Chain A
Amino acid sequence: MEFQIETQAAMAPVAGGDDQMLVPMDDVREHLVVVGNGMAGCRAVEELLARDGARYRVTIFGAEPYVNYNRIMLSPVLAGEKTFDDIVINDRAWYDDNDIALIAGDPVTAIDRATKSVTAQSGRTVHYDKLLIATGSDPFIIPVPGKDLPGVISFRDMKDVDTMVAAAGKGGNAVVIGGGLLGLEAAHGLTLRGMKVTVIHLMDTLMERQLDEAAGWLLKSALEGRGQTILTGANTAEIYGEDKVEGVRLKDGREIPASLVVMAVGIRPATALAREAGLEVNRGIKVDDHMVTSDADVLAVGECVEHDGNVYGLVAPLWDMCRSLADGLTDQHTGYKGSVTSTKLKVAGLDVFSAGDFSGGEGCEDIVLRDASRGVYKRVVVKDDKVIGAVLYGDTADGGWYFDLLKRGENVAEMRDLLIFGQAFAQGGGALDPKSAVAALSDDAEICGCNGVSKGQVVACIEQGACSLDAVRTGCKASASCGSCTGLVENLLAVVLGDDVQSGPKTMCKCTSFGHDDVRREIVAQDMRSIPEVMQKLHWSTPDGCSSCRPALNYYLLCALPGVYVDDQQSRFVNERMHANIQKDGTYSVVPRMWGGLTNPRELRAIADVVEKYDAPMVKVTGGQRLDIFGIKKEDLPAVWADLNAAGMVSGHAYGKSLRTVKTCVGSEWCRFGTQDSTGLGVKTERMTWGSWMPHKFKIAVSGCPRNCAEATIKDFGIVCVDSGYELHVGGNGGIHVRVTDLLCKVPTEQEALDYCAAFTQLYREEARYLERTAPWIERVGVEYVKQRIVEDEAGREALRARFLFSQQFMQDDPWAQRAAGANSDLHQHLDPISIAAE
């Protein structure tokens, strides 16, 4: 490598001597000594030379045995897209031409401010008039066992790249710890070099500092598509191996074999030298607006400094800092005012941009555009008519423009409606009203990219009588797939029809232009697998939904993907998240299941013990034929459940949009009117249906004769036994508007009663809208439709039943037992405050 400097000895005319001897006696220039031959240190010197080339004599110490290179381009070097020679910023000739003494490969080990000198590892001591510390950052190494094993490295300098390239030459598995910018660039490079890469990321979202959840999800899917394994929410417990690294073990016990582990979890300003010299250091070396430290003759610049409470980890702020520093050193006092930063991920083919503050907050307004067919997600955050943040994925062309608007604090009120479409749209032709912008489009301009519908076709469709969004969707398919052009279509309707536009179907909530049925259809049609995926593909207008749509989407996915979908606890209402019913004082009530309303001494004793042990102030017999224990604190729930489990009881799901109870009467076993074993059938029905999640609560009852003591005709599914068989009733409920069931049919055997029950339940699960009980659902679709699906279509009924039973395999896992065994324990425990610090 041409630019590599083998040893510092070659550079040092007088090894270990005092630098004064190197200098002609008539050199009266002040001596500027720079510690750190990196991006900031050299840039500062460049800026200085540009202002006043004669004022300072310059010496630069560098720990690395290289000339100044562009650190950010180490990623393309690792990826094999560039060589080291390509990324050199200043070659040897630059140092020579500017009379700069470079002492590379010899780190400075001490600063003596009293004598104004620095000492390097080799023992060399150099006197300074002005000292500039530009030591950059040290990679943060997480303190886990095995961190010092050979094969565990960080990603900071050329040496690390050499190590990675050598390791990749042998192939095998690599683990990258840290799914931030650096980690993902390392993972990308190693993948291109043929390694099988797993990225372990502690947070749930990749690059969570730069990206929101939606963009993070897109990125994750794209990287997985390239063959990387991405583990989010994964916590490293240890790095194992005999005398070199063999793999990584996670806290949850998973092991990932690897011959190379790259730690890219963050950086810490390299402040040790400054701290030992007694300079004021907080997170970084404290500097003023001209990069002067607490000692007027010592300056500091780059990632090692803290200015106005901020430390930076990107290059753009360094450029600003270096300008102010050079101005200060040449007596022009401009002053550094802090930087706003933007980030781009340097992975070929993946365009990711983020800038400013996109965390939202008071007065912030999100403008979101999602174009699923192109894989684009854009989010611009506006506050007080100014852009304050932006996240772009897939199409970053306007990143620079948004960043510019942001930095200049420009008022965007005028172009607010078109802002998200980018500079060309928002500033093109002065058409600032979205309606006139749409009106100005040519007839063959494409409106709907998914279905290839032009403006002319949409207008023709409207003119032929489509007066609503829905009618346009059915008429010409525009906006019928991903919905990203909904706004355009609505504007076209307004342009063509004026006030005659009819409002469309009710949307799921304010976050989307789609109704429940559309969302469900698309989830299945496009095989969507997570909430962020649905929000992206269907163009949600909020970053993470609201308390209406999140529980609905969670249910739809759970229903569509039994055994595959991982339930999102944070999209559950409190009762379903806590598996108990919250009461008005914030305590919970606990209802253990009593199959068919039957109980026994063991269960009753366990309940009595729980009531006493946990001081429950009330026990009540519910309308669903079981006992409700009131006043349990959230911290005590797992222990209460463990006690109830021990007596053989499981969750009664009295809290869920799920099967609640199967109420029974005593039936032919005891009752003189009884025609069938209604109690036994009730128990069987409950055993079959318990644990299933539903669009809303679901209650079943079985009465042993038409006297109907179990009130089966006001239940979602009611069975009334008669001499010749079983009458099946559906769609009833109590509550504010009592509704009596419709008779579905009569079946001769108990098994058929069970089969029809399973099929009906599944039809309701698959087709009703979230929070729609069976009664309004049946009124909406008509009982004839339900009869056709359940009674007449035998094969369809059989398929529904089979899907229900399949799904039940995964649902009948007692959530109480899981919690009692420690799952989600943080939901039940308070945080533990540790220490108190005063400032």
Chain B
Amino acid sequence: MTDWIDIGTLADIPQRGARTVQIGGEKEIAVFRTGDDQVFALVNECPHKKGPLSQGIVHGHSVACPLHNWNIALQTGEAQGADEGCTPTIAVKEEGGRIWIARPVAMQAAA
């Protein structure tokens, strides 16, 4: 069973941008909207040195970290190219015109 959390509508997130969401005491989550209006969610920490990915430039289905420009694939959270590392992804769905993210794992375990 997955708990889904309603975080708003597509229009709440800038195209080719991101917003953050904080659920309980969990790590901040970055919710991205790409140029083609797909939505992805990652823990808002770069695998390199925890840069806030939500503040990076979104291009295609990647985001360039604002601190040292690693490129992170939004779908998998994996660093691209020569860099290595992975940021946890969070499931997202669009339903009824709203965007829902899966409740973070740690919280679920605690619940």
Which residues of chain A have a CB within 8 Å of any CB of chain B?
202-205, 208, 212-213, 235, 358-362, 542-547, 550-551, 569-575, 577-578, 582, 584-586, 634, 826-827, 829-839
| Alpha-carbon separation in the docked complex, A578 to B36 (Å) | 24
Contact across chains for A582 and B66 when beta carbons are under 8 A apart: yes
Q: Can you give 19 contacting A-B residue pairs, CB < 8 Å?
A: A202-B11, A213-B36, A360-B36, A361-B61, A361-B75, A546-B59, A550-B57, A550-B59, A570-B16, A571-B57, A573-B66, A582-B52, A586-B50, A586-B52, A831-B8, A831-B12, A831-B19, A831-B21, A832-B8
CA distance A546 to B36 in the complex (A): 14
Q: How far is the CA of A834 from the CA of B57 in the complex (A)?
A: 27
Q: Does B105 contact A (CB under 8 A)?
A: no
Q: Contact check, A831 vs B31: say whether CB atoms are below 8 A apart.
A: yes
Contacts of B30-77 to chain A: CB distance below 8 A: 31, 34-38, 49-52, 55-61, 64, 66-67, 69, 71, 73, 75-76
Q: How far is the CA of A584 from the CA of B5 in the complex (A)?
A: 30
A205 to B16, CA, bound (A): 12
B3 within 8 A of A: yes
**Inter-chain contacts of A830 with B (CB < 8 A):** 19-22, 28
Shortest C-beta distance, B41 to chain A (Å), equals 10
A362 to B62, CA, bound (A): 10
- Contact call A839/B7, Cβ cutoff below 8 A: no
Q: In the complex, are the beta carbons of A826 and B52 less than 8 A apart? A: no
Query: Are B103 and A836 in contact, CB atoms less than 8 angstroms apart?
Result: yes
Give the distance in Å from the alpha carbon of A638 to the alpha carbon of B27 in the complex. 23
Question: Known interface pairs A202-B11, A212-B35, A837-B3. Does A547 touch B16 (Cβ–Cβ under 8 Å)?
Answer: no
Q: Are B2 and A551 in contact, with the CB atoms below 8 A?
A: no
- 10 residue pairs, one from A and one from B, having the closest CB atoms: A547-B64, A574-B66, A570-B16, A547-B57, A574-B55, A544-B35, A586-B52, A831-B21, A834-B6, A546-B59
Q: In the bound complex, what is the Cα–Cα distance between A235 and B12 (angstroms)? A: 12
B54 to chain A, nearest CB (A): 9
Inter-chain contact A570/B15, CB cutoff 8 Å: yes
Specify which chain B residues have a CB less than 8 angstroms from the CB of A839 in the assembled complex.
1-2, 4
- Bound form: Cα–Cα A839–B102 in Å: 11
CA distance A489 to B20 in the complex (A): 46
Q: Is B14 in contact with chain A by the CB < 8 A criterion?
A: yes
Q: A570-B17, A573-B66, A837-B4 are in contact. Are A551 and B37 (CB under 8 A)?
A: no
Whether the pair B57, A586 counts as a contact (CB closer than 8 A) is: no
- Contact call A833/B5, Cβ cutoff below 8 A: yes
Q: How far is A584 from B22 in the complex, measured between Cα atoms in Å?
A: 20
Residues of chain A within 8 A (CB-CB) of B66 are: 573-575, 582
Query: CA of A835 to CA of B103 in the docked complex: distance in angstroms?
Result: 11
B57 and A837 within 8 A (CB):
no
Q: Is the CB of A573 within 8 A of B8?
A: no
Inter-chain contacts of B31 with A (CB < 8 A): 831
Central interface residue in B23, B34, B57, by most chain A CB within 10 Å: B57
Q: Is the CB of A569 within 8 A of B17?
A: yes
Question: Which residues on the A side are within 8 Å of B55 (C-beta)?
Answer: 574, 577-578, 582, 586, 634
Contact A360 B60 (CB under 8 A): yes
Nearest CB in chain A: distance from B20 CB, A: 5
User: How far is the CB of B96 from the nearest CB of chain A, in Å?
Assistant: 8
